[in-house]
């Protein structure tokens, strides 16, 4: 997110930052969410607004209200068909919960002058029908591994806490 902000706001290489993620509930779904697409996506974007608040040294409420000012858009995977993301820094969060079909849908919507950032952790798959070998994150890393215009980074340590790192190992 920090790099996207710099490349978009400071350097002008991109016109906007678009963030999307899998909307997979962790347990029983709470049901219908009223409001616009943006309002419905807000509960799913807590990680993004938390990080923006940290980067901008602001409250989460202030960040939520000023996303457009920072050229940040939140969109649902459900509405990407037919779109082209030109001059866009597109962040796909929680990609370990995407199917290969969903990932293909996103990647094939990338227009000229855009960058796709795919984030995920195979140890945190929340959907019962996906595995570390069958999800969209693993597929895109594998299929693009030999392409000169792509790269991947695998972090070896948890950025959250010792507790989170230990839980990843033993749970």
Q: What is the mean pLDDT of each run of 10 residues along the chain (171 residues)?
A: 89 93 64 66 70 71 65 81 94 93 94 96 88 96 95 83 86 81
**CATH number, position 34:** 3.40.50
pLDDT given for residue 30 in this prediction? 57
The total of structural domains in the chain comes to 1
| C-beta contacts of 144-149 below 8 A and 24+ residues apart | none
The C-alpha angle 66, 72, 75, rounded to 5 degrees, equals: 115
45, 72 Cβ separation under 8 angstroms: no
| DSSP tag of 27 | S
pLDDT value of position 155: 83
pLDDT at 18: 92
Other Cβ atoms less than 10 A from the Cβ of 94: the count is 20
Neighbours of 168 (CB within 10 A): 13
Q: How far apart are CA 70 and CA 51, in angstroms?
A: 13
Residue span of the structural domain in which 20 resides: 2-170
């Amino acid at each position: 997110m920090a790099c996207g902000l710099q490349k978009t706001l400071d350097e002008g290489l991109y016109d906007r930052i678009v963030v999307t993620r899998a909307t997979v509930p962790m347990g029983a779904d709470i049901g219908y969410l009223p409001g616009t697409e943006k309002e419905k996506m807000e509960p799913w974007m807590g990680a993004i607004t938390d990080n923006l608040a940290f980067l901008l040294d602001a409250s989460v409420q202030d960040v939520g209200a000023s996303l457009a000012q920072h050229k940040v858009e939140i969109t649902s995977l459900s509405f990407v068909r037919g779109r082209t993301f030109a001059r866009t820094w597109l962040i796909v969060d929680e990609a370990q919960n995407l199917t290969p079909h969903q990932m293909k849908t996103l990647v094939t919507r990338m227009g000229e002058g855009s960058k796709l950032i795919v984030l995920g952790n195979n140890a945190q798959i929340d959907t019962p029908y996906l595995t570390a070998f069958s999800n969209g994150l693993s597929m895109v890393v594998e299929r693009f591994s030999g392409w000169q215009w792509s790269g991947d980074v695998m972090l070896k340590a948890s950025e959250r806490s010792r507790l989170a790192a230990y839980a990843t190992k033993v749970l």
